Amino acid sequence: MKKILYQRDLSCIGKKGELKLKSIIILYILFSAFLGSAWGAEAKFPTKPIHIWVGWAGGGSTDVLVRVASSIAEKILGQPIVVENRPGGAGALVMGLLKNAKPDGYTLGACTDTPFTRLPHTTGVKYDPLEDFTYITQLGNSRIGLVVRPDSPFKSFKGLLEFTRNNPGQLTHGTPGVGNTTHLAMEKIARVENVKIQHIFFHSASQVITAILGGHVSCASTAASSFIPHVKAGTLKPLLMYYPPEGIEQWPEVPTLKRLGYEFEIPLFEVIAAPKGVPKPIADKLIAAFSEAMKSPQYRDMARAQETIFSDKILSGDELHKFVKIQFNFFGTLIKELDLQKK
């Protein structure tokens, strides 16, 4: 009976109307099947290994934090997380690759905030840090500082500044890439003190440490996790802590920017992001897994060993995006003040 009524309805609307109605029904069925498939994929995520590209060489603080967090998160997600190092361009290389990756949650990128908040202002990058990514989580804030060799003629940071005044451009300062935190910090100091410093850029913190240990640069600035083992071994000596303002409790005599009277501070933090367009249910699963991993004693112990500072409130998702935007604008103003913006 229903079939007869259906045929009568079609006969009433004519042949063209019949074809149009059939097309609409077919499209509806296909669209419903597509939505059902997509929702099913999101509900089952992940069904295969997840890859995280780290924007620095292996062994650095970001690399270690990502690997420890991933080893815990993969147990929560039920799939392996494969960490791959892809250094270059102070993190810009991996972020450019991440922008073009498929937004399905299976490809993530991890780096310090340098390629998100600073590098876009100083050099040409192939991505927009505020538009091209889905922010997953912040791994913590790093302690950062400046070191010299024990046999260096510089016994204090004030002594180092005095040398730069008397010998313009002769002080060589090693940092892990153009536009990174320590590069900008020293540029700001040089501007305030009206001195000239020669910056030598490397691809990673480990390369910076190798250079200072070998006497190839006068001083070097990196995350504290890279130089503290050498300070404890007596092969390097800290002269200044950029961040945090209170310094490091092990060496209270080492000055900070705040203690020296500088009216600025420059944080350094680690970020895990995904390409723009990752479905919210998938992003939420990743955020939940990594947030739980970072609350574990195993991660907290390793973070402390890496001289990483963290609070009980872990920034993730939209909150992390907003924080990145604030830092992006802050550094944009600083870089313009220093006349270091891309030409």
Strands 107-112 and 50-54: parallel
CA distance 151 to 111: 33
> What is the CATH number assigned to the segment(s) 144-243?
3.40.190.10
CA distance 244 to 141: 9
Q: What is the pLDDT of residue 120?
A: 93
pLDDT > 70 in the chain, percent: 87
State yes or no: pLDDT of 28 exceeds 60. Answer: no
At 186-210, the pLDDT tens digits run: 999 999 999 999 999 998 888 999 9
Q: What is the pLDDT of residue 43?
A: 75
Q: Looking at per-residue confidence, does 237 or 18 come out higher?
A: 237
How much is the pTM? 0.76
Q: Which amino acid is at 122?
A: T
Residue 142's CB is within 10 A of a number of other CB atoms, namely 29
Average pLDDT, the chain: 87
Would 50-141+268-337 and 144-243 be classified into the same CATH topology?
Answer: yes
Sign of torsion, CA 136 140 145 150? negative
Q: Which amino acid is at 50?
A: I
State yes or no: pLDDT of 37 exceeds 60. Answer: no
State yes or no: pLDDT of 22 exceeds 80. Answer: no
CA distance 343 to 338: 13
Q: What is the pLDDT of residue 18?
A: 55
Contact 228, 222 (CB under 8 A): no
Average pLDDT value for residue range 273-291: 97
At 213-249, the pLDDT tens digits run: 999 999 999 989 889 999 999 999 999 999 988 888 8
C-alpha R_g of the chain: 26
Q: Can you give the residue ranges of every domain in the chain? A: 50-141+268-337, 144-243
Strands 269-275 and 107-112: antiparallel
Tokens of 146: 């400046």
Q: For tokens 């876009």, what's the residue?
A: 120
Contact 63, 54 (CB under 8 A): yes
CA distance 69 to 215: 35
50-141+268-337 folds as D-Maltodextrin-Binding Protein; domain 2 (3.40.190)
The CA angle 76-49-206, to the nearest 5 degrees, is: 90
Residue 30 buriedness (CB in 10 A; 0-12 / 13-18 / 19+): exposed
Half-sphere exposure of 302 (CA within 13 A, CB side): 21
Contact 227, 157 (CB under 8 A): no
At 61-80, the pLDDT tens digits run: 889 999 999 999 999 999 99
Q: What is the pLDDT of residue 341?
A: 82
At 153-196, the pLDDT tens digits run: 999 999 999 999 999 999 999 998 777 888 999 999 999 999 99
pLDDT > 90 in the chain, percent: 64
Q: How far is CA 123 from the centre of its chain?
A: 17
Average pLDDT value for residue range 74-97: 94
Q: Looking at per-residue confidence, does 153 or 25 come out higher?
A: 153
